[in-house]
Structure 1
Amino acid sequence: MKKTFQITGFFLTCFASVYCIQPAKPKTPKPNVIFILADQWRAEATGYAGNTDVKTPNIDKLAGQSVVFKTAVATMSVCTPYRGSLLTGQYPLKHGLFYNDKPLSNNALTMAEIFKENGYKTGFIGKWHVNGHKNGEDPFSARDKPVTRDRRQGFDYWKVREVSHDYNSSFYFDENDQKHTWQGYDAFSQTDSAIGFIKKSKDSPFLLVLSWGPPHNPYNTAPEKYKKMYDPAKLKVRPNVPAELQDSARNTLANYYAHCTALDDAMGKLMKTLDDQGIAENTIVVFTSDHGDMLLTRGVFRKQRPWDESILVPMLIRYPEKLGKKSIVVNKPIGTPDILPTLLGLSQIKIPASIDGKDVSQGLLQPKKYPIEAALIMLPVPFHEWNFTNGGREYRGIRTDRYTYARKLNGPWLLYDNKTDPYQQNNLVNKPEFKTLQEGLEVTLSKKLKENNDTFLPADSYMKLWNYTYDHKDSLRPASYYAELKK
């Protein structure tokens, strides 16, 4: 008699497992990406970075759950060039935005276009600053005009103004080029708009860029609530601020920090939304800035310069799903063109050949795989606040986790050991005892320039190549400029 027997569900599962016929594991959803970009927020102006004056509790909390880049470098520390490199993953001399208020080409392959091609909703809120003006027009003529649909570089959700630093009565244009006014302090209303986008988009992967205007000057325009938090007399100034300017520096810092704390409140509200909506684990959150601010170090304001107050920015990346919830400190540098490929790497999206930067995502949990030892810094054309007559000079350089090295057209210019000299007050360039160090850094810089086909020409060469005109009197040079070149 033939025996028959039944295989129960339990035994069928066991039988299948023996022969590796296991059910496929559900695929992890694509991560959302939220990129939060402040304007002119220098690296040391956060609590997590060791600044005991500024109040940034929400950002400090975020840092405790994020990759913390201690040497995040603005490759070209000024607005338009940074944003061009962020969107394309390219160096300024390749995408062409090495001067403010010039237009990014429609032929550029951008962040939003890449993510959109991979099934993402895309949105941009706040300051844009890559639409530019045409030759012959007033250099700031595009700042108050809408950015038409064909110039949005792949972003669909759109609440944007090209540029404004009036944070309390600013306007923006929507997807249909209709003009609206942000209510109150614009960073707060912009954050509310970002929260609305997140809530509507949470069921499908999205890329959102939230681009705040502060703490960029004017410094004294933060809400009164935050200004009252800071007494200038109690604030510390960096030792590289000239003695005669320290009172002015304290007053400036009080207003600057007020903006930082206001933005920190906005950050807290946004991060709470991710928790409330249940999407925090699978959302990549980036917080950074386009460049720093000298804030009267060396007696000057603003950016473009090669010193740390100008080139170093805060940078955090939180992605609990893959990077965990504990702080990971990265001392090695990351430059602006490296941000986009790193986001693509974390999102498991193929990196296009057009991108110059390096994907550091594999090196975040495995330091031996971190691919960058030195980040390039550059200023092909000095302009506006640091034009030639204000002392601006063309330069190329590198920032490692320890050293800064830069040269001008006529040769080596700066060498700092940032470990022993954190305020960069002792220039070691051309000193005999540091000859070997300088030669090694020069080799590294030369290699970086060769990789990017950068032959380090005078500013006029690049302006002519891209058919750009100088704004106002930016082309003028003092006699000292020509005297330097003869040395």
Structure 2
Amino acid sequence: MKAFFGLMVSIGLLALLGTGFEINRPVEDISFQKNKKPNIVIIIADQWNAQSVGYAGNADVKTPNLDKLAARSVIFKNAVSVMPVCSPARASLLTGQYPLTHGVFYNDRPLRNKALTMAEIYKEAGYATGFIGKWHVNGQQNFEKQFSARNRPVPKDRRQGFDYWKAREVTHDYNNSFYFDENDVRHDWSGYDVFPQTDSAISFIDKNKAKPFLLVLAWGPPHDPYATAPEEYRKLYQPEKLTLRPNIPDSLKAKARKDLAGYYAHCTALDKSVGDLLTALKKAGVEENTILIFTSDHGDMLYSQGKMRKQKPWDESLLVPLIVHYPAGLGVKKRELTLPFSNIDILPTLLGLNDLKIPAAIEGTNYAAILSGKDQPTGEEAALIQLPVPFHENNFLNGGKEYRAIRTKQYTYVRDLNGPWLLYDNVKDPYQLTNRIGTSEYAAVQAKLEKVLVTKLAEAKDQFLTADTYMSHWKYKYDGKDSLRLH
């Protein structure tokens, strides 16, 4: 199947969309060619929510490099995680598919080799491919101990098309971190791992700047533990001076301020690395012809709604930052888009910007024409969110439950197996303080959103069944007490 789609990609390769202008470009820079395929750099952080960046209006967090980048890029105000938890979101980014299609709807389950992935498509199109950092889509098999795959090498045939390789399945010990190279040899990252990982990314760019490349740089922070950023960044934040969201209960505000200070310290450290990478792209002479994407796999509740971390259907968990920077194809004027953009839409949109044929296996939407300004959003776009199985810290015993949701530019509508659960008007109620389910004022809105959800479920071939049904179908075993329900 992969060979077939690779052939189709090669056949479908067309001329590059937009050639851009040569601005202040040294005459001796021979790495830039007028019609060269655009490079692609994807920076993906872990658990960075949409509101924790300066350009989104947050006056507390210090993200000067991202703010400068956003001022010259397309930014999405409603970028959505298709399933707001690590492995499913990452597998969806790589495949452009829903979690119930590729099968990674539960953390630490392996993405199957038959999946057609981003790196395989671009490799067939002549790109050098590289992956650095957190992988998290090659989990343990059913017969193995829970989390047993997290500290061992990812075999070559499980790297989904990436050749340059400095990765580890999972770690959250950012100051004592190691990785495996292409030959499965273990190496240590020196110090706070984000910094040497970014240095490796810069090295990859320098070595491949004369030919098109795809690079994914996957950082572990700002995922908890929150208090482990370098001291110089932790010193920047005093908990008592931080502004909290009004949907955080009074009883949790002290904890929220403490954790938020550490979370922001991680964000600022990562922002420093964004600046380093941008400088390297400019120095290499490839910034103009590089599609740079900055995003995250999912957000973090950080005590909003009295909740922690992810898998939740509220915006703090669902929404992520998303910047698309591509001077040659999109210019350098800031543009804000409010349409809901899922991480399953990233791959088809990249292929659209590349003028590469989009394989039929991809379920996301190609929004390249909207990014370029050729088309305008209809205002009716909706992103589907799936949570087929609640697990680990969000398991049934902790109140987790199966749900499906849609996010439009204005509304969030959520159903669980018992029926309609949540409805928020995010324009009038940005902190989602009032659930409108069953109210007469929003009866027509609820009916319309229900129809949209039914349509999206049909498109995704999602029957919205019980967690046990999906676990049985995919022959997965629950970890620990995840399968126990409260009755």
1:377 alignment partner, SS class: strand
Structure 1 residue 324 displacement after superposition: 0.3
Is residue 399 of structure 1 aligned with residue 371 of structure 2? no
Structure 1 residue 202 displacement after superposition: 0.2
**Contact kept? 1:77, 1:310, Cα under 8 Å:** yes
**Contact kept? 1:165, 1:216, Cα under 8 Å:** yes
Q: Please name the residue that 1:173 is paired with.
A: 180
190, 215, 219: which one pairs with 1:208? Answer: 215
Structure 1 residue 366 displacement after superposition: 2.9
Paired with 1:51 and 1:452, the residues of 2 have a C-alpha distance of 35
**Contact kept? 1:362, 1:370, Cα under 8 Å:** no
**Contact kept? 1:66, 1:318, Cα under 8 Å:** yes
Is residue 108 of structure 1 aligned with residue 115 of structure 2? yes
Paired with 1:370 and 1:345, the residues of 2 have a C-alpha distance of 16
359, 362, 383: which one pairs with 2:391? Answer: 383
Q: Please name the residue that 1:6 is paired with.
A: none
Structure 1: unaligned runs, 5 residues or longer: 1-25, 480-487
Paired with 1:170 and 1:32, the residues of 2 have a C-alpha distance of 29
Structure 1 residue 367 displacement after superposition: 6.8
Q: Please name the residue that 1:430 is paired with.
A: 438
Paired with 2:48 and 2:429, the residues of 1 have a C-alpha distance of 22
132, 136, 143: which one pairs with 1:129? Answer: 136
Paired with 1:284 and 1:332, the residues of 2 have a C-alpha distance of 20
Paired with 1:33 and 1:370, the residues of 2 have a C-alpha distance of 24
Q: Please name the residue that 1:444 is paired with.
A: 452
Is residue 268 of structure 1 aligned with residue 289 of structure 2? no
User: Partner letter of residue 347 of structure 2?
Assistant: L
Paired with 2:366 and 2:254, the residues of 1 have a C-alpha distance of 43
User: Partner letter of residue 422 of structure 1?
Assistant: P
**Contact kept? 1:376, 1:399, Cα under 8 Å:** yes
**Contact kept? 1:364, 1:370, Cα under 8 Å:** no
Structure 1 residue 27 displacement after superposition: 5.8
Paired with 1:274 and 1:446, the residues of 2 have a C-alpha distance of 44
345, 349, 354: which one pairs with 2:352? Answer: 345
368, 381, 389: which one pairs with 1:373? Answer: 381
Structure 1 residue 139 displacement after superposition: 1.8
User: Partner letter of residue 486 of structure 2?
Assistant: P
72, 76, 82: which one pairs with 1:69? Answer: 76
Structure 1 residue 458 displacement after superposition: 0.5
Paired with 2:288 and 2:309, the residues of 1 have a C-alpha distance of 37
2:372 alignment partner, SS class: coil
**CA deviation digits over 1:191-240, x for unaligned, max 9?**
00000000000000000000000000000000000000001111000011
**Contact kept? 2:329, 2:372, Cα under 8 Å:** no
Paired with 1:296 and 1:27, the residues of 2 have a C-alpha distance of 50
Paired with 2:463 and 2:368, the residues of 1 have a C-alpha distance of 30
Paired with 2:477 and 2:174, the residues of 1 have a C-alpha distance of 30
Structure 2: unaligned runs, 5 residues or longer: 1-32
Q: Please name the residue that 1:142 is paired with.
A: 149
- Percent identity of paired positions between Structure 1 and Structure 2: 62
Paired with 2:388 and 2:374, the residues of 1 have a C-alpha distance of 32
Paired with 1:345 and 1:188, the residues of 2 have a C-alpha distance of 32
Cα-Cα RMSD: 1.0
More moved, 51-60 vs 426-435: 426-435
**Contact kept? 2:79, 2:319, Cα under 8 Å:** yes
**Contact kept? 1:360, 1:370, Cα under 8 Å:** no
Q: Please name the residue that 1:15 is paired with.
A: none
**CA deviation digits over 1:27-56, x for unaligned, max 9?**
610000000000000000000000000000
Paired with 2:280 and 2:373, the residues of 1 have a C-alpha distance of 31
Q: Please name the residue that 2:467 is paired with.
A: 459
Q: Please name the residue that 1:484 is paired with.
A: none
Q: Aligned runs of 1:253-332 on 2, under 5 Å?
A: 253-332=260-339
Paired with 2:164 and 2:374, the residues of 1 have a C-alpha distance of 37
**Contact kept? 2:369, 2:375, Cα under 8 Å:** no
Is residue 220 of structure 1 aligned with residue 227 of structure 2? yes
- Structure whose CA Rg is larger: 1
Paired with 1:357 and 1:367, the residues of 2 have a C-alpha distance of 19
Paired with 1:298 and 1:335, the residues of 2 have a C-alpha distance of 23
**Contact kept? 2:133, 2:220, Cα under 8 Å:** yes
Paired with 2:280 and 2:34, the residues of 1 have a C-alpha distance of 25
| Count of matched residue pairs | 454
**Contact kept? 1:77, 1:305, Cα under 8 Å:** yes
Is residue 244 of structure 1 aligned with residue 230 of structure 2? no
Paired with 2:377 and 2:203, the residues of 1 have a C-alpha distance of 36
